[in-house]
Amino acid sequence: MKNIDIVVPIYNAYEYTSDCIKSIIKNTDLKKNNLLLINDKSPDKNILPMLTKYKSDYENLNIIVLENKENMGFVKTVNRGMQYSKNDVILLNSDTEVTKNWIEKICKCAYSNRYIATVTPLTNNGTIASVPNFGVDNELPDNMTLDEYANMVEKISISRYPQLTTGNGFCMFIKRDVIDEIGLFDDETFGKGYGEENDFCYRALDHGYTNVLCDNTFIFHKGTQSFKKENLTSTRAALIKEHMELLRKKHPIYVQKTDNFLGLNPISDIQENINFNILLYNNKKILYLVNEWEENMEMTGGTSLHLKDIINSNLNNNIASFVLVPNKYDLSRFDLYLYVKKFKKKIASYSTDINYYGQINYTNNTYKDIVRNIFECFNIDILHVHHFLFQTFDAIDIAKELNIYSVITLHDLYMICPSINMVYKEKFCEYDKEKDCLRCLKMRFGVNSNILKNWQNICREVLRKFDRILLPSQNTKNMFKKVYNDLNFEVVEHGVEVKNVNFKKNNSKDERKQFNIAFVGAMAIHKGINVLKNLIIRNKNSNIKIHLFGKSNDKFLNTKQKNYINHGEYRRGELPQLLVDNNIDLVCIFTTWPETYSYTLTESYMAHIPVLTFNIGAVGDRVKNDDLGWVIDINSTYEEILEKIAKICNNEEEYYSKKNNFKKYKYKTIEEMQKYYQKLYENIESKNKYINVYKFNDYKKNYIETEFKNYKSLYGHVVYKYENIRRSRIWKLAKKIKNRIT
């Protein structure tokens, strides 16, 4: 590497100048390179003594101090430094701080191509070289020191050295050969500063040279510290405007190209890479797989609500949450979301052939490539699967291959049977003597074989690969143990946000005009929709009124019926108060499959309203064990259910005994649940703090091109026919007629 002369023009700004010199001494080999400090007759009388002290304190280093006899201005001071030097130079503002290996990296960049004239590194405040946000004065990241930030910029860079129309004078390397060929800065035209480096770079372009950005080096620039603040908005602004006009007259083509550069921002990939790495710096990174995802997350399934609660905790604990989810409008598409402090949005969308082939999908090459790219580009530390529905089992294989810690939470019975809830016709298949697995599988998936045993064998192998298998209830654990008695399961109950409810005075039976019962949640076959409809039809007791709080697409339930009110959908957390405000006396949860937890049950508890449910699943167990309601056999007839409701209504002593039990009931809070996951994630070592956005974006680009080729191969004949029609005479005639119609 050639010897470099670092030219630092100095005018006041004592503290910043001192910081600048300290950073140069710390990060530069000044036995090989030279530091040239030029004091431009600073009014601050402390400047020159400070410079001479640095020279004497470090007499073994090549530090040269020059003093202008008169104030010459920035440009002439820089020219004096370049004339004094016989080597390549780096012009460096005195309000900068340099970082480790800065000269070595800049020189390597400069001599990567013989036609490079100038090199400008990245900075926080350098217009055309500003990162992470373009053209503005950026603050240093809160979560990093300057050295950490500069090291990150170096580690994540691909050193592509993009070409610039002009360099920036805060820190600009210039080859000696170029200075000798095209001359110094134009101090006659730009003597007071601003525009001189642009003019020099444009003249270099005239000579066939180029200016480049050293995108693996970051220099901190505090910005315009030598000028008094009162002058920045008046004198300085006028100077900038005047010199900009001079540049436009002298170099109209190059100024236009610089304007285009600023408008197009061709270094956006560098900025995006840095931005993402700032966001994720020192964050543990978790990839979640889930079957559904909504932005507002209000009316959605319990699996997604549970995951949302975990992610909200992650935001405050330096954990970045990536969520890969099938697109509900097109199950061959996948969306990737990122949730990290100050950043919550979708960052990618993919399309696969996952639904084009078999009905039961254990693996898919395109999907596997997607997941591998996410793992490798974002250096995922943990895989946490909340559902494999609409996805394949490839993610766990990649996690094992990359030695990534893996967790799965089983929210339903999908890993026992692909039907998810194991409802045959109307109820849980274990209670249906007529169940026919072959018929059920064919009806649901179109398969002509009873693949249930094979499914369970595959799922056993998949589950065995996970480091941890979690379930939300003991009842669910018991069900899985019956099928997979050789696996270890851990019960982790969901936490909830306990709502403050404004309760009304309890009325005695004589004071109550009617007994209000409520069905809650989204209504479907497995949620007991047929029970609800039949109770409405069969209820002849005018003292019993049935309410529905929740979504239903059933025409019967959405029309007015005798002794029935449909209150419609509600937002998360609203149910307890709604039940109290509408004087609900009993909540009916007649799910026909063994639910694994049930948020609606917990929200009903918050309203202190007893519950009637079937004797299956976590709901049946919870109501029975908590003694906060009644259970009834799942094979009960509709008449028997109505009879049970009437008995509850008439037995006031037993009813209020159940209500009194709410006083001693203890909820598991979200905070308690979050502490569990926080501890779980903390104990897993993070492997790599940096991410590779370039690889991620390259994959997306290549992937889109590949998908387009696949699209053409699948639908090319249709496109060909369509194009032929568009070229036909009748099409052109129709277009003319259309254009004439107002």
The pLDDT, as a whole number, for residue 709 is 47
User: Which residues on adjacent β-strands are paired with residue 221?
Assistant: 96
CATH code for the domain defined by 4-277: 3.90.550.10
CA distance 493 to 712: 49
Cβ atoms of 88 and 176 within 8 Å: the answer is yes
Angle ∠(725,729,733) on CA atoms, nearest 5? 105
Whole-angstrom CA distances from 680 to 654, 668, 677 are: 43, 18, 5
Q: pLDDT tens digits, residue range 496-509? A: 999 889 987 766 55
Q: Do domains 4-277 and 282-491 have the same CATH topology?
A: no
For residue 326, the one-letter residue type is P
3 state DSSP class of 178 = helix
- Compute and round to an integer the Cα radius of gyration of the chain: 36
The residues near 644 (Cβ < 8 Å, ≥ 6 apart) are 612, 630, 632, 636
The residues with which 65 forms a beta bridge, in sequence order, are: 37
Q: What is the pLDDT of residue 726?
A: 62
pLDDT at position 409 is 98
Q: Are 623 and 631 in contact (CB under 8 A)?
A: yes
DSSP run (H or E) holding 717: helix 693-726
The angle that helices 235-250 and 196-206 make with each other, rounded to 10 degrees, is: 10
pLDDT tens figures, 13-36: 999 999 999 999 999 999 999 999
- pLDDT one-digit tens code per residue, 476-525: 999 999 999 999 999 999 999 998 899 877 665 555 678 999 999 989 88
Say how far residue 276 (Cα) sits from the centre of its chain. 9
User: What is the rounded distance in angstroms from the CA atom of residue 345 to the CA atom of residue 285?
Assistant: 16
Decide: 80 and 71 in contact? Cβ < 8 Å.
no
pLDDT given at position 231: 47
Chain centroid offset of residue 376 CA: 16
The long-range contacts involving 628-637, CB below 8 angstroms and separated by at least 24 positions, are 628/658, 628/661, 628/662, 628/665, 629/587, 629/658, 630/658, 634/427, 634/428, 634/431, 634/592, 635/431
Distance in angstroms (rounded) separating the CA atoms of residues 36 and 533: 89
Kindly report the backbone phi and psi dihedral angles of residue 467, in degrees, each rounded to the nearest multiple of 5, phi listed first.
-75, -25
Tokens matching residue 451: 């693949």
DSSP 127: G
- The pLDDT assigned to 225 comes to 45
Residue whose tokens read 């993070």 = 686
Q: Where are the alpha helices (DSSP H) in 265-380?
A: 268-280, 302-315, 365-377
Q: Phi first, then psi: give them for residue 705, nearest 5 degrees.
A: -65, -45
Q: Which of 286, 560, 256 is nearest to 408 (CA)?
A: 286
Q: Tokens at residue 41, please?
A: 């007759």
Tokens of 501: 């409810």
Q: How many CA atoms lie within 13 A of 521 on its CB side?
A: 23
Question: CB neighbours of 486 closer than 8 A, spacing ≥ 6?
Answer: 460
CATH topology of domain 282-491: Rossmann fold (3.40.50)
Least Cα distance to 568 among 581, 583, 578, 580 occurs for 578
User: Both tokens of residue 419?
Assistant: 């039907």
Phi (first) and psi of residue 213, to 5 degrees: -105, 125
Are the C-beta atoms of 663 and 626 separated by less than 8 Å? no
Q: Report the top-level CATH class of 515-667.
A: alpha beta
Positions in the chain short of pLDDT 70 = 1, 224-234, 295-300, 356, 506-512, 699-727, 738, 741-742
How many alpha carbons lie under 13 Å from residue 450 in its C-beta half-sphere? Answer: 6
Let me know: does 71 contact 10? Beta carbons within 8 Å: no
| 554, HSE (Cβ side, Cα atoms, 13 Å) | 19
CB neighbours (10 Å) of residue 180? 9
Q: How many CB atoms lie within 10 A of CB 701?
A: 10
The token pair that represents 17 in the structure block? 């100048």
Can you give the residue ranges of every domain in the chain? 4-277, 282-491, 515-667, 696-740
Q: How far apart are CA 304 and CA 326, in angstroms?
A: 13
**In this structure, are residues 90 and 171 in contact, taking their beta carbons and an 8 Å threshold?**
yes
- The answer for residues whose C-beta is within 8 angstroms of residue 637's C-beta and 6 or more apart is none
Rounded-to-integer distance, Cα 33 and Cα 51, Å: 18
What values do phi and psi take at 195, rounded to 5?
100, -15
- How far apart CA 708 and CA 241 sit, in angstroms, is 48
Per-residue model confidence (pLDDT) at position 446: 83
Which residues is 564 bridged to in the sheet?
Answer: 546, 561
Q: How far is CA 341 from CA 145, 152, 278, 373, in A?
A: 19, 19, 11, 23
pTM: 0.86
User: Can you say whether the dihedral through the CA atoms of 727, 729, 730, 736 is positive or negative?
Assistant: positive
Angle 46-52-56 from CA coordinates, rounded to 5°: 140
Q: How high is the pLDDT of residue 135?
A: 83
What is the rounded distance in angstroms from the CA atom of residue 580 to the CA atom of residue 471? Answer: 31
